[in-house]
Structure 1
Amino acid sequence: MFEPLFHDPSPDPTALAGWDLSVALINATVQIDQPSGEGVRTVGTGFLLDAPRTDGSPRTVLVTAGHVLDRMPASEVRIGWRVQALEGDWRFAPQPLQVRGPEDTPLWTTHPTQDIAVMEVVAPRMFARAAIPLAWLADEDTFEEARVGAGDELLSLGYPRGLSANRAGFPILRAGRIASWPLTPIAAFPTFLLDFAVFPGNSGGPVFWTPTARRAAGVDAPDHPYVAGILVQEVVVGQERLGLGVVAHAAYIREAVALLDAPPRPEP
């Protein structure tokens, strides 16, 4: 069953059901980049999850597309933290993040079948607090319960061509309609298409629904906003971009995070 999307027990969840997820996800979304040549950088998108360990201790997890990190060969990437000054202004304050260990061993964990990477990170306090709860991720039943269909609108955040919404480094918010059918069961259809223009730099961005998004006429809106998935690919045929993105269902992000708690495999 789909978990409630609000992990703070003090407010009344029913009173918060219409709250817009957009600003929360904007605050939790970051640019990931690495130099790839003279004056050129490889760019991707990531977002932060509040995903406590099995013992209940706090943990902040960076989620992105697996190929984003695969295509950044150096041991460190730059993660685009943002800092708010006392007077309310914001500035872009990126910091290095080590993603490879000795002998270039990846420090992230990848999903076994989907292009999803997760990695525990030490984030500035502001970003650790902005990380979205794991319960906000859709599970394998959410699309059925919310009666999601072809033509429904979803929102996405990212950094197309490395472009941000402003000098403070906030992500760009886009909207697109679901271009696939059927959408479930996700075991048979682990990804779906979203009709919007995708560019390098968008990969790894969250795809989500809030009450601001359009739905088919006569279909009731869900009770809660939710993260539907993660953008993992742009559809290109030959040299032609089709204006479609491939989204992996959020249930696979849940599975990837669960792998962080799995005991390490013994070496052969």
Structure 2
Amino acid sequence: MKSLILSTCAALVLQLSPASAVEHAEAMMRATFKLFNKDSTATCFLLRDGAEVYLVTAAHTFERASGETSILVLREVDQDGVWKRQDKTISIRKGDQALWTKHPKQDLAVMRVKLDLPEGASLPLDVVKSEGFPAFGDPVMLLTYPARVEANGAGFPLARQAVVGSFPAEPMAKHPEFIIDATAWDGDSGGPVFIDAGGGKPQVVGLVISRINHVENIKSERETRKIETPMGLSKALAAPLIFETIRLAKEAAADR
């Protein structure tokens, strides 16, 4: 009888674990979007703090974008269960004035957005890790648009798995970056790095900011060439910086 109960419990675990893994990744996917204009393409995700919704991405995404607007690729499912792409033009500048808030020291920016969003298109702020780094060797997942590629016509991001490759030897306040063993491409910047928090919920532990290359300077009699080779590694910023940047955005809005 005891062995029968154990066998039944094991079968239930096997049945439930994949569903949980799918649920946390899908919840993160629904809140992750492509953000682009003619000079900048990247990944972003949406977080809500009470009634306010903030777009989170790498700061260089906004800085490299020209003009006053970018396109946020939203999605919505119709009554037949088919996902439809919804390109929304959002303001990123008013003249020369940036509408986003950049972290004072790091490549991270947030911007409040006012849009009618589909259900599940933003996640509560409490999904973000509030302190410290993810653990060395931890498996993580990232959602991005590598080389601007979309998973399908609805504009969903692509999922990849990685591990945390760097040990946190210094306090986060001094060195808030960590390394993952995945190659970042153009279009990946700002993508969430996350883990399974349990109960079908994701926990954001960072966001992708850059690729790590091996750089060689090849010299000949007539020329010098710099060759950059991807090492299969990328840098990510620790998630607690998101809280700092949203706080700065709120303070800036209160001063206006």
TM-score tier by shorter-chain length is 0.7 to 0.9
Deviation at 1:21, TM superposition (A): 2.1
Question: Secondary structure at 1:125's aligned position in 2?
Answer: coil
Write the letter of the residue equivalent to 1:126. Answer: P
Structure number with bigger Rg: 2
- The one of 148, 158, 165 equivalent to 1:172 is 158
Higher helix content, 1 or 2: 2
- The one of 56, 67, 70 equivalent to 1:77 is 70
- The one of 34, 50, 53 equivalent to 1:31 is 34
Map of 1:11 onto structure 2: none
Deviation at 1:188, TM superposition (A): 3.1
Question: Secondary structure at 2:185's aligned position in 1?
Answer: coil
Question: Secondary structure at 2:99's aligned position in 1?
Answer: coil
**Are 1:208 and 2:206 counterparts?**
no
Write the letter of the residue equivalent to 1:108. Answer: W
Write the letter of the residue equivalent to 1:187. Answer: A
CA distance in 1, matches of 2:41, 2:214: 22
Higher strand content, 1 or 2: 2
Write the letter of the residue equivalent to 1:139. Answer: S
Deviation at 1:223, TM superposition (A): 11
- The one of 222, 226, 231 equivalent to 1:242 is 231
- The one of 110, 130, 133 equivalent to 2:102 is 110
Write the letter of the residue equivalent to 1:44. Answer: A
Question: Secondary structure at 1:87's aligned position in 2?
Answer: coil
Map of 1:10 onto structure 2: none
Map of 1:100 onto structure 2: 93
- The one of 136, 159, 167 equivalent to 1:181 is 167
Query: Structure 1 residues 263 and 167, CA, compared in 2 at 3 Å: closer, same or farther?
Result: closer
CA distance in 2, matches of 1:263, 1:175: 36
Is the 2:38–2:66 contact (alpha carbons within 8 Å) kept by the matching residues of 1? no
Unaligned runs of 5+ in 1: 1-17, 37-41, 53-57, 212-220
Deviation at 1:198, TM superposition (A): 1.1
Aligned residues with identical type, % of pairs? 31
Is the 2:27–2:201 contact (alpha carbons within 8 Å) kept by the matching residues of 1? no
5 Å matches for 1:130-145? 130-141=121-132, 143=133
Write the letter of the residue equivalent to 2:102. Answer: T
- The one of 179, 183, 199 equivalent to 1:193 is 179
Query: Structure 1 residues 223 and 140, CA, compared in 2 at 3 Å: closer, same or farther?
Result: farther
Write the letter of the residue equivalent to 2:234. Answer: G
Is the 2:33–2:157 contact (alpha carbons within 8 Å) kept by the matching residues of 1? yes
CA distance in 2, matches of 1:125, 1:246: 30
May I ask how many residue pairs the two structures share in their alignment?
224
Deviation at 1:225, TM superposition (A): 4.2
**Are 1:123 and 2:108 counterparts?**
no
Is the 1:149–1:183 contact (alpha carbons within 8 Å) kept by the matching residues of 2? no
CA distance in 2, matches of 1:222, 1:83: 24
State TM-score, norm by structure 2.
0.81
Map of 1:233 onto structure 2: 210
Question: Secondary structure at 1:115's aligned position in 2?
Answer: coil
Q: Tell me whether 230-239 or 18-27 shows the greater mean CA deviation.
A: 18-27
Unaligned runs of 5+ in 2: 1-19, 216-227
Question: Secondary structure at 1:31's aligned position in 2?
Answer: strand
RMSD: 2.4
